[in-house]
Amino acid sequence: MIRALVLIIAFAMTASATVPSSSTDGFTLNPSCPPGFEKTNAGVCELRTLYQFYDSLEGRGLGGTRTALPPHRDGFTPRQIDLGRYLFFDPVLSGDGTLSCASCHNPARGLSDGRARSVGIHGVDAGRAAPTLWNVAFLKRFFWDARANSLESQAAGPIYSPKEMGNTQKQLLSSLNGNAIYRRLFHEAFPAGRGTITENEVVTALAAFQTSLVSLNSRYDRYVHGYDAALTPHETEGLNVFRSFVARCSECHTPPLFTNEQIAVIGMPEPAGLPFDVGAETTLGSPKLKGGFKVPTLRNIARTAPYSHSGAFTDLRGAVDFYNKGRGNAVPKGMHLYLHWHISDPHLTETEVDRIVDFLGALTDETFLPQTPARVPSGLALH
């Protein structure tokens, strides 16, 4: 089984290394699929992973391991994915040419930005921490407050937000259509287009690129697929605590994605001096979801500090310890929240908390980390 995984990865990475056709301006779109994907006879990229061999009902249990993945987005062409990569790193998407998507979703920082609260255009406080983009192809809800229900709307939101990239549709399309390189690249990626770059093509390319951000080859995954020695004894102990009926971590952070995508009210603290963030209450118009946020994935969690929507915890030990302190331990005095029923009072020992932290480190996998382009078609400086 492990040999099969290695062969799949090796094949995908070899295929992705195909040299693209040349161009006079130096910008080309890769005709091969990214690592982990196979190009079908229809010319589109489809994900290949060993989790596809598992029946969706097997291993469900509490934190079951050999469990199938949920449905995911793929089926984009290689050129659409690679065009999305250029756009993702290009500050031309922002209103003043100083921010790109990668400014807040930096590959070097776990596709997050290492900040407690992201910084938008002109240094504006964006309001929340940037969530990682790993495995977003499997998600149906996006942003901490679940305000978007597709990768395309998730891509457009920050571009037009005055607290984030601060652009407008008119300026965005003017900038891209005024660039001969982008006009050529969009024509190559969307040959059936009308010759003028459209907003739909922009968000489609960004969505296509984000579907390639797959992380499913960690040491934990090698353990799941049959290689017991992939985890250390401490990590195995941590996995058992994580899955236990006492800690109950896996009830919300359910393998293999380590999120159940639900909205959970857990009473996370806010930074000192800042107002309480009501989260999904505003999005869904439900008072019961006051202080509710989407359960984040724990994939590559060791790379994405600080933690929570507010960046309240600087390290994993502090984040795990917050749950161990019990229900409502950080709820503001006098405030009533409908705390999620999974949040309990586990009273784990210090050693058990340490073992969970050890296990979380085994979820790191950046095998398919996207390549940052040396330069972008706009000619702007990378940020």
- Classify residue 378: in a domain, yes or no: no
- How many Å apart are CA 224 and CA 51, to the nearest integer? 9
pLDDT tens-digit series, residues 72-93: 999 999 999 999 999 999 999 9
Same domain, 38 and 177: yes
Looking at the structure, do residues 133 and 269 belong to the same domain, yes or no? no
CATH of residue 65's domain is 1.10.760.10
**How does pLDDT run across 180-221, given as a tens digit for each residue?**
999 999 999 999 988 899 999 999 999 999 999 999 999 999
Backbone angles phi, psi at 263, to 5 degrees: -90, 125
Q: Is 142 exposed, middle or buried (0-12, 13-18, 19+ CB in 10 A)?
A: buried
Name every residue whose Cβ is closer than 8 Å to that of residue 84 and which is 6 or more positions away in sequence. 205, 206, 207, 208, 209, 210
d(CA 110, CA 298): 11
Residues 230 and 189 in one domain: no
**Confidence (pTM):** 0.92
Q: Which residues pair with 46 in a beta bridge?
A: 38
The answer to the question of residue 348 being in a domain is yes
Cis peptide before 287 (omega within 30 of 0): no
Q: Structure tokens of 177?
A: 């259509």
Do 315 and 245 belong to one domain? yes
Give the H or E element holding residue 177. Answer: helix 169-177
- Model pLDDT, residue 1: 45
DSSP summary character for residue 282? H
CB 337 within 8 A of CB 290: yes
CA 233 – CA 69 distance, rounded (Å):
26
Query: How does DSSP classify residue 163?
Result: T
pLDDT of 144: 97
Structural domain boundaries enclosing 300: 219-361
Count how many residues are written for the chain.
Answer: 383
Residue 153 structure tokens: 């709307």
Residue 200: inside a domain: yes
Predicted pLDDT of residue 213: 98
Q: What is the pLDDT of residue 155?
A: 95
Which of 185, 210, 235 corresponds to the end of one domain? 210
pLDDT in tens, the chain (383 residues): 444 444 344 434 434 433 344 467 889 999 999 999 999 999 999 999 999 988 865 445 567 788 899 999 999 999 999 999 999 999 999 999 999 999 999 999 999 999 999 999 999 999 999 999 999 999 999 999 999 999 999 999 999 999 999 999 999 999 999 999 999 999 999 999 888 999 999 999 999 999 999 999 999 999 999 999 999 999 999 999 999 999 999 999 999 999 999 999 999 999 888 899 999 999 999 999 999 999 999 999 999 999 999 999 999 999 999 999 999 999 999 999 999 988 888 999 999 999 999 999 999 999 999 999 999 999 999 97
**Please, is 59 exposed, middle or buried when counting C-beta atoms within 10 Å of its C-beta (0-12, 13-18, 19+)?**
middle
Tally of domains within the chain: 2
Which single residue is written with the structure tokens 């690129």?
209
